[in-house]
Structure 1
Amino acid sequence: MDSQNKDRYEIHEAAREGKTSVVESLLNANPRLSSRRDEDDRLPLHWAVSYNRPEIVQLLMQSKNFDVDAQDGLGWTPLMMASSLRAGDGDALIDTLLSAGADVNAKNNNGQTALHFAASKNNIDTARKLTAHKASARVKDKRGQLALHRAAAVGSVPMMKLLLENKSPVNATDVDGMTALHHAISEGHGDAAMMLLKAGAETDKRDTDGHLAIQLAPDAKIRDFILQSAEREGIDLEQ
Structure 2
Amino acid sequence: MDAEWYNAAAKRQIDKFKDYTKPLDLLRTPNKNTVLHVYITAVKKEPEESIEFVELVESKCPSLLAEPNIKGETPLHIAARFGRKNIVEFLIQSIKKAQNEDLERGAEASTSDKMLKKTSTDEDTALHEAVRNNHPQVVEILIRENPEFANIANAAGESPLYLAAVRENNNIASKILEICPSPAYSGPNGKTALHEAVISRDEDLTRKILDKNNSLTKEQDNEGRTPLHYASYFNLPAIVQILLEGDNKSAAYIGDNDGKTPLHIAIICGKSHLMVVEKIMSDCLDCSELADNEGKNVLHFAVESGNFKGVQIITQEPSLANLINQKDKEGNTPVHLVAAFGFESLTEHHLVDKKAVNNKNLTALDVVLETKDETDELLGYTARKLRRARYEQGRPLIQLKARERNKITDKSISALRKVSKSHQIVATLIATVTFTAGFTLPGGYNQDGPGKGTTILTRRSAFKAFLITDTLSLALSISVVLIHFLLTLTRNKKKLFYLFFWAFVFTIVAMILMMVAFMAAVYAVMPHSSSGLRAAICVIGSCLALLCLYMLKVTLPEICHCG
Quote the offset at 1:109 in angstroms.
Answer: 1.7
Query: 2:313 aligned with 1:124, yes or no?
Result: no
Please state how far the C-alpha of 1:63 moved relative to its aligned partner: 4.3
- Cα distance in structure 2, aligned partners of 1:133 and 1:70: 22
Question: Of 181, 190, 214, which aligns to 2:379?
Answer: 190
Change (3 A) 1:75 1:183: same
1:168 aligned to 2:357?
no
Greater RCO (CA < 8 Å, at least 6 residues apart): 1
Q: Confirm whether residue 47 of structure 1 aligns to residue 230 of structure 2.
A: yes
Q: Distance in 1 between matches of 2:353 and 2:385?
A: 14
Of 322, 326, 351 in structure 2, the residue corresponding to residue 139 of structure 1 is: 326
**Could you report, residue by residue, the CA deviation over 1:201-225 in whole angstroms, capped at 9, with x for unpaired residues?**
66859xxxxxx862883871599xx
Please say if 1:85 is aligned against 2:269: yes
Q: 1:28 to 1:153 in 2, by over 3 A?
A: same
1-structure distance, mates of 2:314, 2:346? 12
Alignment of 1:55-74 (within 5 A): 55-67=238-250, 68-74=252-258
TM-score after normalising by structure 1? 0.77
Query: 1:9 is matched with which residue?
Result: 192
1:25 partner amino acid: K
The CA distance in 2 between the partners of 1:107 and 1:77, in whole Å, is 8
Query: How big is each residue's C-alpha offset from its partner over 1:106-161, in whole Å with a ceiling of 9 and x where there is no partner?
Result: 22221111000011112121111111223221100001100011111111122332
Provide closer, same or farther for how the CA distance between residues 196 and 36 of structure 1 changes in structure 2, counting only shifts above 3 A. same
- Pair 1:222–1:204, CA change in 2 (3 A): farther
* Structure whose residues are more often helix by fraction: 2
Rounded to whole Å, the distance in 2 between the matches of 1:123 and 1:203 is 33
Measured in 2, the distance between the counterparts of 1:122 and 1:8 equals 31
Change (3 A) 1:18 1:166: farther
Alignment-derived partner of residue 180 in structure 1: 364
- The CA deviation at 1:184 is 2.7
So what's the TM-score if we normalise by structure 2?
0.35
Who is 1:115 aligned against? 299
* Counterpart residue number, 2:444: none
**Which residue of the other structure, out of 199, 211, 220, is the alignment partner of 2:389?**
199
Name the amino acid aligned to 1:139: Q
Aligned to 2:547: none
Is the CA contact (8 Å cut-off) linking 2:306 and 2:343 kept in structure 1? yes
Secondary structure in 1 aligned to 2:295? coil
**Offset at 1:183?**
2.6
Deviation at 1:53, TM superposition (A): 1.2
Larger-Rg structure: 2
SS of match in other structure, 1:217? helix
Name the CA distance, whole Å, in 2 between partners of 1:115 and 1:130: 7
Aligned-partner Cα distance in 2 for 1:111–1:160: 21
Q: How many residues align?
A: 213
CA–CA distance in 2 between the matches of 1:108 and 1:8? 22
Shift of 1:22: 2.9
Q: CA RMSD in A?
A: 2.9
The gaps in structure 2 that reach 5 residues or longer are 1-154, 159-186, 410-563
- The question of whether the paired residues in 2 share the 8 Å contact of 1:119 and 1:147 is answered with yes
